[in-house]
Amino acid sequence: MIDCIATRRRALAAGLFACALTALPGVAFAQARQVPETREQVTLSFAPLVKRTAPSVVNVYGARVEKRPQNPFMDDPFFRRFFGDGGFGVPRERVQRSLGSGVIVDAQAGLVVTNNHVIENMSEVKVAFADKREVEAKILLRDPRTDLAVLKVAEARNLTAIELADTDELQVGDIVLAMGNPFGVGQTVTQGIVSALARTQIGVGDAQSFIQTDAAINPGNSGGPLIDMKGRVVGINTAIYSRSGGSVGIGFAIPAAMVRLVVDSARAGAATVRRPWFGARLQALTADVADGLGLDRPAGSVVASVVEKGPADQAGLRRSDVILAVDGVAVDDPEAFGYRFATRPIGGTTALTVLRGGNRISIPVKLVAAPETRPRDPVKLTSRSPLAGLTVMNLSPAVAEELAMETANEGVVVSDVEEGSTAADIGFQKGDIVMALNGEPMATSRDVEAILKERRRAWEVTISRKGQTITSVFPG
């Protein structure tokens, strides 16, 4: 199974454990690779590398106070007289905690990268350095799509940062070290090799192409670094394949190219990560279709639909085109394309290798951010209804991109579901599009707010979820 290392949260992907691990410092990777030839070479120590990079690896602690529901008997003064306000010995509040790792990527600004799931829903975050200092940290940017987060430490003195590597230079078989705080025992270093590159469909976030390693990664390593032999961060360890929750030698790290995108957005003061907008929906290339196209293997992404006036449309991409590569790098499926396209810098162009009518052609696509064609106008729904606890907003290409939705550009979308709310209990999900209430089409978030102020004996709710229309009736 895949489970978050710090939180043991079960992922939806078949049999994986999503985990955030610690990130490490980086240095140039242009080195000669050779197999050890002597006993002396085999017994060389990693100690100098660890000594240089360890000060940049930190522990990340999160906490939040949860209020327990009050026992109904406590409304009676008679019971409070004998049992107090705690309610039969049950605390009115409890503290939820999380533990993970992180890595300093900017010493001057005090920026630390960790996994989003380490600090998700946490109201207090602290960072503990290798020299035992412990300081408060501010959550600068969270990106659930990549399971990455950037923290800013309150005290940015005497910090040492690690360079982010160029992961395109990484090769299968390269030696790497993973550093973090497994099971809270303290800073730990494990060694392994790069087992595979460009692993997709891991079930952790989206737009990903993971580095696979056999370096031991365990709960508590979340947000920590995977470093190369030059001391550069090549990835942030984020998941393991395991049936028990412990390491079995199959771990996954988010490549440094994606980490750099998130860090640069935080440096720029952005509230969200700015990614290039493609404006098309892709499907995996099946073996039958690949055979019909004369391809020797089912590697590529089929254009299923194109958003009018989007970058893909303006570049001339058509339905049924097969995208084989981005800037000369092969992309085997939509997930690999999403990672490669998302890490291109906004403002330029990228060249797609496309198979059309049996011919391979190169199509340049402009790298632009998704536009916010109308104000998102978020509204939290509090009226008594099946939707109580939802936050809804107006859809636009920008909102759809942030929520990782496929080409949906208009309507009203659920942007947040309050934990423990009526809507959460019913099963509403982030990304659901509210199409109609009691048969009335919903065009804006204010339309939804207005109709829910009415008292109804029943509510007929129609939503769209991942292309499927669902209609249900709930009591008022």
Q: 323: which 2 tokens?
A: 């995208």
Q: Of the segments 10-14, 151-155, 296-300, 316-320, which one has the largest average pLDDT value?
A: 316-320
The predicted-structure confidence for 434-445, as pLDDT tens digits, reads as follows 999 999 999 999
Contact 26, 230 (CB under 8 A): yes
Total domains, the chain: 3
What is the pLDDT averaged over residues 6-12? 37
Answer yes or no: is pLDDT of 19 > 50: no
The predicted-structure confidence for 377-436, as pLDDT tens digits, reads as follows 999 999 889 999 999 999 998 888 888 777 666 789 999 999 889 999 999 999 999 999
Q: Confidence band (pLDDT; 50, 70, 90) for 26? A: very low
Whether residues 16 and 123 share a domain: the answer is yes
Domain that holds residue 320: 280-366
Nearest to 223 by CA among 440, 424, 61: 61
Comparison of pLDDT for 299 and 21, the residue scoring more:
299
The predicted-structure confidence for 114-167, as pLDDT tens digits, reads as follows 999 888 877 788 888 888 888 888 999 999 888 899 999 977 778 889 999 998
Comparison of pLDDT for 439 and 94, the residue scoring more:
439
Contact 378, 445 (CB under 8 A): yes
Whether residues 320 and 252 share a domain: the answer is no
At 16 the pLDDT is 40
Sequence-separated (6 or more) residues with CB below 8 Å from residue 308: none
Q: What is the CA radius of gyration of the chain?
A: 25
At 7 the pLDDT is 37
What is d(CA 374, CA 365) in angstroms, rounded to the nearest whole number? 24
Whether residues 322 and 460 share a domain: the answer is no
Whether residues 74 and 177 share a domain: the answer is yes
At 446 the pLDDT is 94
* Residue 59 counted as domain residue: yes
What is the pLDDT averaged over residues 51-78? 71
At 21 the pLDDT is 36
Which residue out of 3, 101, 117, 214 is catalytically annotated?
117
Answer yes or no: is pLDDT of 69 > 70: no
Reduced to 3 states, what is the DSSP secondary structure of residue 458?
strand
**Whole-number Cα distances in Å, 19 to 62, 147, 165:** 15, 9, 21
Answer yes or no: is pLDDT of 64 > 80: no
Comparison of pLDDT for 232 and 37, the residue scoring more:
232
- Where among 341, 366, 391 does a domain terminate? 366
Answer yes or no: is pLDDT of 75 > 60: no
**Whole-number Cα distances in Å, 116 to 12, 33, 147, 222, 355:** 17, 34, 5, 9, 37
Whether residues 403 and 357 share a domain: the answer is no
Whether residues 18 and 50 share a domain: the answer is yes
Element (H, E) at 47: helix 47-53
Length of the chain: 476
* Residue 374 counted as domain residue: no
- Where among 312, 339, 366 does a domain terminate? 366
What is d(CA 387, CA 63) in angstroms, rounded to the nearest whole number? 29
Q: 117: which 2 tokens?
A: 């799931």
At 9 the pLDDT is 39
Q: 77: which 2 tokens?
A: 């003064």
Comparison of pLDDT for 306 and 91, the residue scoring more:
306
Whether residues 74 and 213 share a domain: the answer is yes
What is d(CA 398, CA 370) in angstroms, rounded to the nearest whole number? 5
Which residue out of 147, 321, 333, 432 is catalytically annotated?
147
Answer yes or no: is pLDDT of 316 > 70: yes
What is d(CA 360, CA 10) in angstroms, rounded to the nearest whole number? 42
- DSSP codes joined into one string, 230-275: TSBEEEEEEEE--SSSS--S-EEEEEHHHHHHHHHHHHTT-SS---
Whether residues 221 and 292 share a domain: the answer is no
What is d(CA 426, CA 87) in angstroms, rounded to the nearest whole number? 29
* Residue 140 counted as domain residue: yes
**Whole-number Cα distances in Å, 358 to 34, 238, 320, 322:** 42, 40, 12, 10
Answer yes or no: is pLDDT of 82 > 60: no
Helix axes 256-267, 334-342, angle to 10 degrees: 40
Answer yes or no: is pLDDT of 34 > 80: no
What is d(CA 423, CA 429) in angstroms, rounded to the nearest whole number? 9
Nearest to 461 by CA among 376, 381, 385, 378: 385
Half-sphere exposure of 137 (CA within 13 A, CB side): 31
What is d(CA 204, CA 17) in angstroms, rounded to the nearest whole number? 9
* Residue 373 counted as domain residue: no
What is the pLDDT averaged over residues 75-88? 50
Q: Are strands 124-128 and 468-475 parallel, antiparallel or unpaired?
A: unpaired
> Residue 30 maps to which CATH number?
2.40.10.120
Whether residues 120 and 259 share a domain: the answer is yes
In the chain, the percentage of residues whose pLDDT exceeds 70 is 80
Is residue 222 part of the annotated active site? The answer reads yes
Answer yes or no: is pLDDT of 249 > 80: no
For CA atoms 404, 198, 217, 127, the dihedral sign is negative
Whether residues 119 and 149 share a domain: the answer is yes
For CA atoms 210, 122, 60, 8, the dihedral sign is negative
Nearest to 218 by CA among 49, 22, 12, 51: 22
In the chain, the percentage of residues whose pLDDT exceeds 90 is 34
The predicted-structure confidence for 171-194, as pLDDT tens digits, reads as follows 998 999 999 888 777 788 898 999
* Residue 232 counted as domain residue: yes
What is d(CA 180, CA 217) in angstroms, rounded to the nearest whole number? 8
Q: Confidence band (pLDDT; 50, 70, 90) for 250? A: confident
Whether residues 29 and 80 share a domain: the answer is yes
Answer yes or no: is pLDDT of 244 > 70: no
* Residue 371 counted as domain residue: no
What is the pLDDT averaged over residues 205-212? 73
Q: 289: which 2 tokens?
A: 């279709």
* Residue 339 counted as domain residue: yes
- Where among 244, 273, 302 does a domain terminate? 273
What is d(CA 155, CA 110) in angstroms, rounded to the nearest whole number? 7
Straight-line distance from the first to the last Cα atom of the chain, in angstroms, rounded to the nearest whole number: 40
Per-residue exposure over 144-173, b if at least 16 CB sit within 10 Å of its own CB, e if not:
bbbbbbbbbbeeeeebebbbbbbbeebeee
Whether residues 269 and 297 share a domain: the answer is no
How crowded is residue 296: how many other Cβ atoms within 10 Å of its Cβ?
A: 7
Specify the residue for token string 């099971």. Answer: 183
Is residue 117 part of the annotated active site? The answer reads yes
Nearest to 356 by CA among 384, 380, 379, 324: 324
> Residue 413 maps to which CATH number?
2.30.42.10
* Residue 469 counted as domain residue: yes
Which residue out of 56, 222, 265, 415 is catalytically annotated?
222
